[in-house]
Structure 1
Amino acid sequence: MGTVRTGRPARTGRPGAVEAVVFDFYGTLVRMVPPLPPTHESVFLARGLAGPAARWGDQWAVGPGDGEEHRAHSATEESYVAWERDRLRRRALDCGVPEDQAADLAAELDRATKSLALEAFDDVRAALTALRARGLTVALCSNWYWDLDRAVERTGLADLVDVVVTSARTGARKPHPLMYDTVLDACAVAPERALFVGDMWAPDVLGPLARGMRAVHLHRPDPAVRGAAPPLPDGAARITDLSALTDLL
């Protein structure tokens, strides 16, 4: 499925104890840092496409939507990337890009979107180290591109993560149940033995709760997602720093 195993399996603890902690990736463990990727608008304008640029809109809203299933396109990295670029190409045509330019523009937009410089938040390594010292499985479950495992390596966290699950390989995006089933299977734990930690409300809190997992909403002082934190439902907790996570275990 969409799983990369990078470490040991889960261990059996006392009845009802958490055996696996599952993290979202971007906004939870890592953030974007300079140099920032080119904006989609700049890519259009460099090609003299001011009209289509104005119609294109938010560059972060052009991907598949939360909860979307796309298993038919996730068989291989080549098929997934081809689907990503074809989606961009078709949208470019709808925005008025000439047909003879649409494919090259889509490829450039795809590269621009993925040219992210990332770094781990200051609290991450200590928190993951503490979890592994308790014998817990540490997993990632993220709406991300195909190369989530490589992104984890580039941010220096690969030695602290046992399981990596990305939507691109799984064939669906959180909060689709397939994402949670995939990471639970990879961790070899029942839902009630897993704790999900993330900064996004529906994908990282409501979705895991609906699957029977426990959930922790990470609401950092400088959150990637702006706005007031929603009221907590039953079965969820909220923290502002990952150093508070071990207190919940």
Structure 2
Amino acid sequence: MPAPSPPARPAVRGVILDFYGTLVRLVEPLPPSHRSLFLRRGLAEAADAWGDQWSVGPRDGEEHTAHSVSERAYHAWELDRLRRRALSCGVPEPVAGPLAAEIDRAMKDLRLALFDEVPAALAGLRARGLTVAVCSNWYWDLDRALEDVGLAGLVDVAVTSARAGARKPHPLIYRTVLARCGLQPEQALFVGDMWTADVAGPLACGMRAVHLWRPDRAVAGAAPPLPDGAARIPSLAALSGLL
């Protein structure tokens, strides 16, 4: 007798998307570099020690629930982290606080624009009756960022790491967005451009995943091989074909 077929997976009821690099991109005018803020104060050696401005926030996978109890508490933690890092780089104590505040403002003063296919892709998901969610390693104000780029009416649920208390690929943020959507992991499809945060992490939590690998992507290198439960697309316009 032929072997029995494996049970069919439940139908997808919701699509969860990453934000930056998946739905939006950075456009000019760009915020000032961290190095320029150091040099303005004559802190060249500290600027060298500071390093890559994209690596000074919380680490991917970091859990910070104790600081995510309120917007005020979270912002205080953000500023304190930057201040302590500045001190460790040799910034004098009286300068560290004001410098941290200026760096914090620069990190959040972002001009964002939608990728061209995003509105139609999200509208198509909603037309199918699917829950549409955004799950991002982002600051406290993800709702406002979605509104600023015109997505507020196309997104049912928005979960940011700042409020969830952990950054992708920590399981807590995936559990949070699933609970907010009213979905079981096997009912959700996660879509994003970052391999660990948007593919490996969701797969480990029982979701299906789609790796967005744009031809003009900012991420260098070759695309990792696809494991079971994952697919790869060059644009969100191709997402409907997977559903």
**Smaller-chain TM-score range?**
over 0.9
| Matches of 2:242 and 2:61, distance apart in 1 | 28
Letter in 2 for 1:24: D
TM-score (norm 1): 0.93
Q: 1:150 aligns with which of 140, 144, 150?
A: 144
Q: 2:18 aligns with which of 16, 24, 30?
A: 24
Identity of aligned residues (%): 71
| Matches of 1:132 and 1:227, distance apart in 2 | 33
Corresponding residue SS for 2:47: helix
1:49 aligns with 2:43: yes
Please, which runs of 5 or more residues in structure 1 have no aligned partner? 1-13
1:136 aligns with 2:127: no
Q: Could you say which structure has the greater relative contact order, defined with CA pairs below 8 angstroms and 6 or more residues apart?
A: 1
| Matches of 2:11 and 2:99, distance apart in 1 | 51
| Matches of 1:91 and 1:56, distance apart in 2 | 8
Corresponding residue SS for 1:169: helix
Q: What residue is the counterpart of 1:176 in the other structure?
A: 170
Instruction: Give the Å deviation of 1:54.
Output: 0.9
Q: What residue is the counterpart of 2:4 in the other structure?
A: none
Corresponding residue SS for 2:228: coil
Higher CA-based Rg: 2
Corresponding residue SS for 1:245: helix
Letter in 1 for 2:141: D
Instruction: Give the Å deviation of 1:15.
Output: 7.5
Letter in 2 for 1:17: A
Corresponding residue SS for 2:199: helix
| Matches of 2:53 and 2:141, distance apart in 1 | 20
1:59 aligns with 2:53: yes
Please, which runs of 5 or more residues in structure 2 have no aligned partner? 1-7
| Matches of 1:225 and 1:25, distance apart in 2 | 15
Q: What residue is the counterpart of 2:242 in the other structure?
A: 248
Runs of 4+, deviation exceeding 2 Å: none
| Matches of 1:86 and 1:240, distance apart in 2 | 39
| Matches of 1:226 and 1:161, distance apart in 2 | 29
Q: What is the total number of aligned residue pairs between the two structures?
A: 236
Q: What residue is the counterpart of 2:205 in the other structure?
A: 211
